[in-house]
Amino acid sequence: MNIIECKNLTKEYLSGENTVVALNDVSLEFEKGEFCAITGPSGSGKSTFLHVLSSLENSTSGEVIYNNESLKKYNDNQLSILRRRRFGFVFQAYNLVEELTGYENILLPIMLDKKKPDEEYLKKIIDILGIEDRLSHLPSALSGGQQQRIAIARALANKPSILFADEPTGNLDGKSGREVLSLLKYVSKELGVTLILVTHDLHVAEQADRVIRIEDGAVVEDSKYNQ
Amino acid sequence: MKKLTFNSLAFGNLKHRKKQYTLLVIGIILSMVFSSGFVFFVSSAVTSAIETHNYKYGKQSEIVTNVVTNDSLEAVLNETYEDHGYMHILGAITTVDSEIELGTAVGWLDEGGKELYYQSLAEGKMPQKKNEIAIEKCALTRLGGTYKIGDKITFDLYAQNGAEKSEKPTKKEYTLVGILNDKRSNIGNQHGGQAFELPAAFVADGSKVELGGKESLHCLILSGDEEDEIGAYIKALRETKGSGDGTGIYTTGGYELSYTIADMFGVDAPFLLLLVFVAVLALVSNIGIVNAFSTNLKERKKQIGLLRSVGATRRQIIKIYGRESFIICLLCVPLSLVISVFAVKMSVNLMGTNFVFKPSWWVLPLSAFFSICVVLLSSLIPLASASKISPMQAIRNIQINRKMKKKKIKTQKEFIPSRLLASRNIKLYKNKQVLTSIILAIAIFGSVFGYSIIGGVKKNNRMIDYDYGIEAEYYDFSYRQLANYEKQVNGFSDNDVQDVLYNSNVERVVTGKATNGYILVDELTDYLRLCGYTNDVYQQNYSKKGEITPENYHKFTEDNLENKAVKEKAEIKGEVFPLSFYGVEEEYIESLKDAVTVGRIDIDKINSGEEVILLVPEYIELSAWDYDGATGPDMDFEWSLKPTETIADNQVVLDSAKIGDEFKVDKGITLGWIGTEEGEPVEYEYEGGEGKIKTGEFKHTKIETDTKIGAIIYLPADISNLFYDYSFFSSSKPCIVTSVDGIDTFTKNLPYLSMKVHLNQECNDEIEEEMMTLFDRLTAEMGSPSIYSAYERAKSGETTAKTLLLIITAVVALLFTLSGSLINNALTARIRESKKEIGTLRAVGASVKDISSSYIRQLLSVLGFGTALGFGAFALFYGIYCLIFISMGDTTDDFVLTFWQTIAAVIALFVCCVANVHFKVKKEMKNSIVENIREL
């Protein structure tokens, strides 16, 4: 069963007087609970694809369908609610809010949704991620790996159905990167969350259930159909 | 490849961030224009007002007439005064065969005199040769009119002979070579045969008096603020025999700063207050510059971190940013100075043509230097501290963590994101926000203060509640002479009052009568003697230093010459206590009830003349003051109703007395009134201090009536109602107060002295004209009546209030604009710096409302704190002000608390700031989340 799909996604940018095609007619479907890695060389459009798919960015044409509903109909407010309730994001640069402590960063999507936090669930995530003793620290007092763990916890806090990760290990050393990746893999399996991860690291991609390769804004390889 | 220098780095930085720096430069220019423009304006306006004053009156502060110069006097002058010079008076000229009063003095000025007198030629040149003359415009008109340069004019010349002029004139022909601008200190000072005169006609330097006369010398002196300096000169004049007949001081209006401010703005604004305004504006404007730089400090910190990480030393970093700031200065300073000068010239043009503009150019380089310092310091001080932190600290903004640790931030288990983010931001950027709040507080304080002062001006313009006050020839009835001579019984008849009352615009007329009278007493006690005579009685008799002794005073008061003469002529038996009688309307009698010391007020008995109210001092003290006058010692007398605590060196307390058993309630008294048909019949001749009476005619009417004292009011007392509405009433001298009906029972058909007219509608130009015509008719036969129009006064008061309102509104608007721009700048910078954070928040599901409300909460906090601080500071100031003034027994009428303008300004500021924040957040939200996160 597809949780999210996109049809004929195209994204064009203006660079000076030239138009750059970042995505060219991309159509893909993702199943619930799937761990999918999107790979490709730098500038291939993989991050753009993730951003458009996750509604962080609009497409020039085409549409994204979540749970059989086109996101084209959604206004800005509805998209905000969708992001805070159904999607989780992990960025390469962690993107934690500097003024909030680790725990407050984790609570942010729940609090934006004006909900009571499920403390048992949060404790479970925190335990899995091993960040219990870093919760009261501000992001600037944490290492990259620790910040990324907090970012993962924040992405999972609202029990999302899809976790979007954009080069989550890109800023980390090998060991930290491996740890973060295994955590992502573990929590997504454990919690039944679809994980769509962008990486240019083939070792990371190898661990995914499905690998999609994008080049020049178009899908050139999808392991799901190759098998 | 182009060589990389500090300059190219700085230029590159400026070029790269064109938009950001354009805004920064605009902000700095505006701040500089505000500060340097205002300082330039005030200093130029002050020097211009002084210059205007000098051209009008001359630079000298005093002219001492008819002096005799000698070396000792010159030594004193050179030592004591900033400057001095002489005016050589050679005589007076008039048109042939006309009155000497229509002429003018003629003379010349020495170098010192010229420097001080500020002569300015309207046409032609100053006389160089014999028989050449230059005359001021106004004097030239007086001397016959339409002359032009080169005309030969024959005048009657009265040659000078010391302080006097020759009795008969001789004919003298002059060639008119110059026409001078009028010296206002001279206009109206026609010859007049007086010893003192200023010349409006000038001949060549060094000219001698015709026909062997002796010139008279006027000394022009420029003294400082110290009165002592004039005193020193006067002393020197006496000691060196520099003074002669007719020596006197003519103060030509030495300029004072408050005077120049009044000249500038048409209001009597204290100079200090204006300086404070300018200082606040300059300070606030410079804070604007500091703020403009600090708003992009975070961004700069990252740049510093990057530069340091590639090996730049602290010194190199400061050099790079120093160049950048210097380039900004080079751009901003000249531009802002040009705008300032242009703006100031524009405002001077608006001030009218009579204003001589003398720009204080020296302010500009000083202002430029100051501005450069402010820009460099405001850009480099934060950078110097930023460059101390490690490169990674700068890049990662670790300072936040340090600050948060210091403030012991506690993790919240549940929170509203917008509220938490706002409170954290406030904690993190507290210093900047406190500064912004203080500026807002200053704006609010200034606004409430300014508008409350305007309220006070308006209130004081209308302290008196009647619309018109007309009074017959003014006479001070507090002088308490025994007889009322012809001039003192002038006034309005019952018909006149009816005429006013019948006018359709008039609601009511408050009338009043006043006269001099006496109470017959058994014995003239010390208290009665002290109260019964007036200042001028003593002043007539003592004019030399050393004469004012308690012994002499007692000797004199034993037998007052004038009263003795009148008593004899009017055949008054026994002793008399002279005092004033006032007849006022019943409502004013009622208003005295609270002030009664002994007894009670019964209106019916007062109306019938059965009773009167007596106002007398409980304690009275007479002091004499010696001071140095122009020709010798002078003296002044002063009454006091309280004992003098500290007696001054030149003060002699002549006598003091406390009321005893002189007056008792319900005790029968005899009131007396004497009216004469002719003028004062008593003349005096003094020989060696002994007065002799020259007797004259004394046709008089004497009325003596028995009555009772119903109430006694001890002075001083709160009788302001009476004091304000009856200008002839003196609140400190003994008097009988009764009703208008009551006073008629003691006197003979006394006319009304004053009428206070209340209109039944708002006055307008038409009513004003109608009323004034009526009053002119009623007072046509009177010598010098006074007519007061509240409408006319309000009109002129309105002009003052309007000017003040304009100035205060401009300053308040400026302060609010500055605080608004500071708040907006700070928040705009925060929004700009927080692009990534906004993107992150959006990514995790925050809506526009969530993000906007976070910034609006920060805004509210700053505005709320500033507003509370501003109003709180004013409340504190007003509280202290009231305490001080009330404890001093004064009123607080200078302030009428007015808040609505300030509240409106705060609301407008709030609306503008909210709109700006919302607009800025919306603008950021128009970008995609990814663009936000990437800080594009």
Whether the per-residue pLDDT at B226 is higher than 60: the answer is no
Does residue A34 or residue B49 have the better pLDDT?
Answer: A34
Task: Say if CB B757 and CB B500 are below 8 A apart.
Answer: yes
Q: What is the pLDDT of residue B176?
A: 92
Give the gap in angstroms from C-alpha A227 to the nearest C-alpha of chain B: 34
Domain regions of chain A by residue span:
2-226
B156: which residues sit within 8 A by CB, 6+ positions away?
B93, B94, B95, B96, B97, B98, B100, B103, B169, B170, B171, B172
Does residue B890 or residue B855 have the better pLDDT?
Answer: B855
Task: Indicate which of B392, B399, B840 best probes the interface with A, i.e. most A CBs within 10 Å of its own CB.
Answer: B840
Partners of B429 on chain A (C-beta within 8 Å) are none
Q: What is the C-alpha to C-alpha distance for residues B424 and B409, in angstroms, rounded to an integer? A: 9
Question: What percent of the residues of chain B are helix, what percent strand, and what percent coil, each to the nearest 5?
Answer: 50, 20, 30
For B71-102, write each residue's pLDDT tens digit: 777 777 777 777 888 889 888 888 887 777 67
b/e sequence B40-56, b meaning 16+ C-beta within 10 Å: bbbbbbbbbbbbbbbbb
The pTM of this model reads: 0.57
Place of tokens 């050099």: B319
Partner A contacted by B411 (CB < 8 A):
yes
Partner A contacted by B373 (CB < 8 A):
no
Partners of B837 on chain A (C-beta within 8 Å) are 97-98
Q: What is the C-alpha to C-alpha distance for residues B780 and B595, in angstroms, rounded to an integer? A: 39
Q: What is the pLDDT of residue B568?
A: 79
Cβ within 8 Å, pair B420-A135: no
Q: Say what the ipTM of the complex is.
A: 0.88
Task: Say if CB B609 and CB B704 are below 8 A apart.
Answer: no
Cβ within 8 Å, pair A108-B930: no
For B290-310, write each residue's pLDDT tens digit: 766 666 666 667 677 767 766
Amino acid, res. A204: V
- Of the listed ranges B391-405, B618-632, B691-705, B876-890, the one predicted with least confidence: B391-405
Q: Searching chain B, which residue's CA lies closest to the CA of residue A117?
A: B414
In order, the DSSP letters of B419-447 are: HHHHHHHHHHTHHHHHHHHHHHHHHHHHH
Pairing verdict, β B132-136 and B170-180: parallel
The CA distances from residue B115 to B57, B77, B199, in Å, are 13, 16, 16
Cβ within 8 Å, pair A154-B933: no
For B302-329, what is the mean pLDDT?
75
For B253-294, write each residue's pLDDT tens digit: 444 444 444 454 544 444 555 566 666 666 766 776 776 666
* Helix and strand numbers, DSSP H then E, in chain B: 30, 27
Q: How confident is the model at residue B621 (pLDDT cuts 50, 70, 90)?
A: confident
For A137-149, write each residue's pLDDT tens digit: 888 888 888 898 8
Does residue B319 or residue B920 have the better pLDDT?
Answer: B920
Q: What is the C-alpha to C-alpha distance for residues B417 and B428, in angstroms, rounded to an integer? A: 16
For B774-791, what is the mean pLDDT?
78
Whether the per-residue pLDDT at B552 is higher than 80: the answer is no
Q: What is the pLDDT of residue B543?
A: 53
Q: What is the pLDDT of residue B706?
A: 92
Whether the per-residue pLDDT at B438 is higher than 80: the answer is yes
Whether the per-residue pLDDT at B738 is higher than 90: the answer is yes
SS3 assignment, position B538: helix
The CA distances from residue B586 to B132, B387, B430, in Å, are 71, 83, 65
Cβ within 8 Å, pair B928-A109: no
Q: Searching chain B, which residue's CA lies closest to the CA of residue A139?
A: B401
Mean of pLDDT over chain B = 77
Partners of B400 on chain A (C-beta within 8 Å) are 98-99, 138, 140
Q: What is the pLDDT of residue A207?
A: 86
Does residue A224 or residue B191 have the better pLDDT?
Answer: A224
Q: What is the C-alpha to C-alpha distance for residues B645 and B648, in angstroms, rounded to an integer? A: 10
Residue ranges of alpha helices (H) inside chain A are 46-53, 76-86, 102-112, 119-129, 144-156, 174-191, 202-206, 223-226
For B701-714, what is the mean pLDDT?
91
Backbone angles phi, psi at A12, to 5 degrees: -120, 140
Considering chain B, what percentage of its residues have pLDDT values greater than 70?
A: 71
| CATH code of the domain made up of A2-226 | 3.40.50.300
Pairing verdict, β B62-64 and B249-251: antiparallel
Q: What is the pLDDT of residue A20?
A: 86
Q: What is the pLDDT of residue B392?
A: 57
Whether the per-residue pLDDT at B232 is higher than 90: the answer is no
Does residue A213 or residue B685 have the better pLDDT?
Answer: A213
Say which of B401, B420, B845 has its CB closest to residue A84.
B845
DSSP type of residue A91: -
Task: Give the number of A-B residue pairs with CB atoms closer than 8 Å.
Answer: 109
Task: Say if CB B754 and CB B727 are below 8 A apart.
Answer: yes
Q: What is the pLDDT of residue B475?
A: 61
Cβ within 8 Å, pair B844-A112: yes
Whether the per-residue pLDDT at B846 is higher than 60: the answer is yes
- Of the listed ranges A12-21, B316-325, B352-361, the one predicted with least confidence: B352-361
DSSP β-bridge partners for residue B633: B628
Q: What is the C-alpha to C-alpha distance for residues B753 and B772, in angstroms, rounded to an integer? A: 18
Pairing verdict, β A162-166 and A87-90: parallel
For B652-676, write each residue's pLDDT tens digit: 788 888 998 889 998 889 999 888 7
Closest CA to B433 of B827, B814, B31, B23: B827
Q: What is the pLDDT of residue B790?
A: 84
Q: What is the pLDDT of residue A37?
A: 93
Q: Searching chain A, which residue's CA lies closest to the CA of residue B393?
A: A140
SS3 assignment, position B396: helix
Q: What is the pLDDT of residue B524?
A: 80
Whether the per-residue pLDDT at B329 is higher than 90: the answer is no
For A52-76, write each residue's pLDDT tens digit: 998 888 889 999 999 889 988 888 8
Most confident listed range (B570-574, B636-640, B689-693): B570-574
Q: How confident is the model at residue B608 (pLDDT cuts 50, 70, 90)?
A: very high
Most confident listed range (A47-51, B387-391, B782-786, B805-809): A47-51
Q: What is the C-alpha to C-alpha distance for residues B759 and B769, in angstroms, rounded to an integer? A: 14
Q: How confident is the model at residue B125 (pLDDT cuts 50, 70, 90)?
A: very high
The CA distances from residue B473 to B296, B783, B784, in Å, are 74, 6, 5
Partner A contacted by B404 (CB < 8 A):
yes
Q: What is the pLDDT of residue B192?
A: 45
Give the gap in angstroms from C-alpha A192 to the nearest C-alpha of chain B: 20
Say which of A80, A91, A98 has its CB closest to residue B842.
A80
Other beta carbons less than 10 A from residue B311's beta carbon: 8
Q: What is the C-alpha to C-alpha distance for residues B874 and B880, in angstroms, rounded to an integer? A: 10
Cβ within 8 Å, pair A98-B400: yes
Whether the per-residue pLDDT at B604 is higher than 60: the answer is yes
Give the gap in angstroms from C-alpha B923 to the nearest C-alpha of chain A: 14
Say which of A96, A136, A140 has its CB closest to residue B411.
A136
Partners of A95 on chain B (C-beta within 8 Å) are 836, 839-840, 843, 933
For B357-365, what is the mean pLDDT?
79
b/e sequence B872-897, b meaning 16+ C-beta within 10 Å: ebbeeebeeeeeeeeeeeeeeeebbe
Q: Which two tokens stand for residue A114?
A: 């004006």
In order, the DSSP letters of B199-240 are: EEEEE-TT---GGG-B-EEEEEEE--S-HHHHHHHHHHHHHT
Partners of A78 on chain B (C-beta within 8 Å) are none
Does residue B627 or residue A73 have the better pLDDT?
Answer: A73
Partner A contacted by B412 (CB < 8 A):
yes
For B493-545, write each residue's pLDDT tens digit: 888 999 999 999 999 998 998 888 889 988 888 888 788 765 555 555 555 55
Whether the per-residue pLDDT at B595 is higher than 50: the answer is yes
Task: Indicate which of A81, A90, A99, A154 best probes the interface with B, i.e. most B CBs within 10 Å of its own CB.
Answer: A99
Partners of B844 on chain A (C-beta within 8 Å) are 83-84, 89, 108-109, 112, 154
